[in-house]
Structure 1
Amino acid sequence: MQDDQSGGDVLRFAPSPNGWLHLGHAYSALFAFEMAKRIGGRFLLRIEDIDKGRCRSEYEEAIYEDLAWLGLEWEDPVRRQSEHFAEYERGLKRLREMDLVYPCFATRKEIQDAIVASGIPLQNWPTDPDGAPLYPGICKDMPKERLNELMWEGRTYAWRLDMEKAKQEAERINGGPVTFVEEGESTRGDHGLLPVEPQLFGDVVIARKDVPTSYHLAVTMDDALQGVTLVTRGQDLFPATYIHRILQVLLGLPEPRYHHHGLVRDEAGRRLSKSAEDMGLRELRSAGRSSADIRRMVGL
């Protein structure tokens, strides 16, 4: 694949090998690739495979095959997140040293039980932008001695970012409110210099006991380590930018620009997804579709 290291913007496509690529992935990959060509930038492929339970080698191989079939070229070597846990662990260690994360031992059932015990009906409990119930803070105020005891007992836990403290510290470091540049459109239809609203997510999981990272930490550090200057991705990931910008400021990482694009939807208006087992590129290829057909189907 191409290995041009010339200047200009650096863009990337970063799929997870936990299923077959569908039309939505094709659109996102082609969007980044064509934009890189148009503005004289570089295009990178990254494999986001930190979910060891769901990611499979056959899906990863299919990613390379499908993207090459679409006519995409990318630089070698391809960054695979599973090979860089030590780097993410250093980022987590920095957040721990700043006293901005804490271990949470609560299971999903315990979290749900705590919400029910609050007297607020589960359906009325506030949710984050992804639709998940906001964490009710079960372990947040637990004495550190007790937290250490639970860790020594070998209990499973997740590292949560104390979002209130993290936002305050990021604003202190930044010398004011944290913002980002949106060159596409937000979910509200605005663009330009936008403020972050990380409090909408509450105390998000930033890493786990067995995996020293999460999507948020890994993607933030990867973009910095790979020199990505323009992040293109679907509007469904727009709110995640709030968390990523906070992490960038806290960890002293460079700030990329962002371009969130529209999503490929079915006739009912539902966005395509792996979980819904929407028709993959492999199936479309088997049905006789060409790469030119795929481009027309996604409007590129």
Structure 2
Amino acid sequence: MSGKTRFAPSPTGYLHEGHLLSALYVWAAAEAFGLKIHLRIEDHDQSRARPEYIKSIYEDLEWFGFEYDSDSIQSKRNPVYEEALARLDNAGLVYPCFCSRKQLEAENPKSDTGEIVYSGKCRKVNTSMDTLVPSALRCDEQPHNLRVIIPDKVIKWHDMRLGDFDENPKLQCGDFPIRDRDMQWTYQFAVCVDDIDEGITHIVRGEDIRSSTARQIALMQLLGRETPPAYLHHSLIVDATGKKLSKRERAHSLRQDRDAGLSKETLLGRVCFKANLQPENTPLSLAEAISLAKQVL
């Protein structure tokens, strides 16, 4: 095995069918490309993460039979994030932002996807063309988040399923936060630091996160990783209204199905049917489900 991929659920609720489908694609990619598998618990959002959800992730994966080579929990990796932040700060690439959510919505344009494109208002206040940004880590004003200065350039990247993309993060979102007002690491920052530090070579995830890719590649370049991972964004399971399954929307959990007595074969078959990996809703073993997912990689 010459590479590594990862399965990275957030413990803000119990796993649902969308997570199971994503796991199938991750394990399918590992088989297809000869990769090790790393389980990452992404509990950077400590306001929503719960110990019982972390415990359930391990239990559910074991129940289905998913095996992995290593694991980590983001909340135990603060020294790694602090070191990465210090490197960006020493390079003059981080600045404090005091804009409230209300200000951000009122003062900044939105992209075609409805995402706020930050104008760099607080960067312009904190720096000039001839000086580096004063150390954001010494800023004692509250509340504020920390933003990273993203270069104005096109990022070219390839998706193994969706093809080639040319995207400019400066136009997609502008300088984005890497630590929030509650001193929590943001998803964008933590995932980039982790993917570098943990040696992730292949990223397999849902296509709902595809728009984050260019900005993550840009941030990884600032952190010293010039060659980005290989990417594959898989299709999603959606509800009757066309929305993706979400813990915020109280999606039905796999734990509820287990407690109701459904077998893992039944759940695997149902997920593969909903994802159009098989024509009928028939039970499948884990090996059979992974094999179906591998056919569409």
Q: Name the TM-score, length of structure 2 as normaliser.
A: 0.81
Q: Distance in 2 between matches of 1:194 and 1:132?
A: 18
3-state SS of 1:26 partner:
helix
> Alpha carbons of 1:196 and 1:144: their partners in 2 closer, same or farther (altered >3 Å)?
closer
Q: Distance in 1 between matches of 2:247 and 2:38?
A: 22
> Alpha carbons of 1:90 and 1:153: their partners in 2 closer, same or farther (altered >3 Å)?
closer
Q: Which letter does structure 2 place at the counterpart of 1:64?
A: Y
1:52 — aligned with what?
46
Contact 1:179–1:245 at 8 Å: present in 2 too? no
Q: Indicate which of 204, 209, 222 corresponds to 1:237.
A: 209
3-state SS of 2:6 partner:
strand
- Residue 22 of structure 1, CA deviation: 0.7
Q: Indicate which of 1, 8, 11 corresponds to 1:14.
A: 8
Q: Which letter does structure 1 place at the counterpart of 2:110?
A: P
3-state SS of 2:123 partner:
coil
Contact 1:233–1:260 at 8 Å: present in 2 too? yes
Contact 2:95–2:126 at 8 Å: present in 1 too? no
Superposed, which structure 2 residues align to 1:211-226 within 5 Å? Answer: 211=183, 213-226=185-198
Residue 35 of structure 1 pairs with residue 29 of structure 2: yes
Contact 1:104–1:139 at 8 Å: present in 2 too? yes
Contact 1:50–1:211 at 8 Å: present in 2 too? no
Q: Distance in 2 between matches of 1:261 and 1:70?
A: 20
2:79 — aligned with what?
86
Show structure 1 runs of 5+ residues with no match. 1-6, 116-124, 169-176, 186-190
Q: Which letter does structure 2 place at the counterpart of 1:85?
A: N
Contact 2:203–2:232 at 8 Å: present in 1 too? yes
- Residue 113 of structure 1, CA deviation: 4.5
2:158 — aligned with what?
181
1:107 — aligned with what?
100
Residue 141 of structure 1 pairs with residue 135 of structure 2: no
Contact 2:205–2:232 at 8 Å: present in 1 too? yes
- Give per-residue Cα distances to partners, 1:204-227, cap 9 Å, x unaligned: 112236536321111112112111
Q: Output the aligned Cα RMSD.
A: 2.6
Show structure 2 runs of 5+ residues with no match. 129-133, 273-288, 290-297
- Residue 16 of structure 1, CA deviation: 0.8
> Alpha carbons of 1:212 and 1:93: their partners in 2 closer, same or farther (altered >3 Å)?
farther
- Give per-residue Cα distances to partners, 1:124-153, cap 9 Å, x unaligned: x42474x443334442321459x889x755
- The number of equivalent residue pairs is 267
Query: Which range moves more in the overlay, 255-264 or 197-206?
Result: 197-206
Contact 1:88–1:212 at 8 Å: present in 2 too? no
Q: Which letter does structure 2 place at the counterpart of 1:179?
A: K
Q: Which letter does structure 2 place at the counterpart of 1:46?
A: R
> Alpha carbons of 1:258 and 1:287: their partners in 2 closer, same or farther (altered >3 Å)?
same
Q: Indicate which of 189, 198, 208 corresponds to 2:169.
A: 198
1:260 — aligned with what?
233
2:55 — aligned with what?
61
1:295 — aligned with what?
268
3-state SS of 1:298 partner:
helix
> Alpha carbons of 1:259 and 1:69: their partners in 2 closer, same or farther (altered >3 Å)?
same
- Give per-residue Cα distances to partners, 1:176-200, cap 9 Å, x unaligned: x532231122xxxxx1x43232121
- Residue 268 of structure 1, CA deviation: 2.7
Contact 1:89–1:212 at 8 Å: present in 2 too? no
- Residue 261 of structure 1, CA deviation: 0.2
> Alpha carbons of 1:148 and 1:36: their partners in 2 closer, same or farther (altered >3 Å)?
closer
Q: Distance in 1 between matches of 2:263 and 2:42?
A: 27
3-state SS of 2:2 partner:
coil
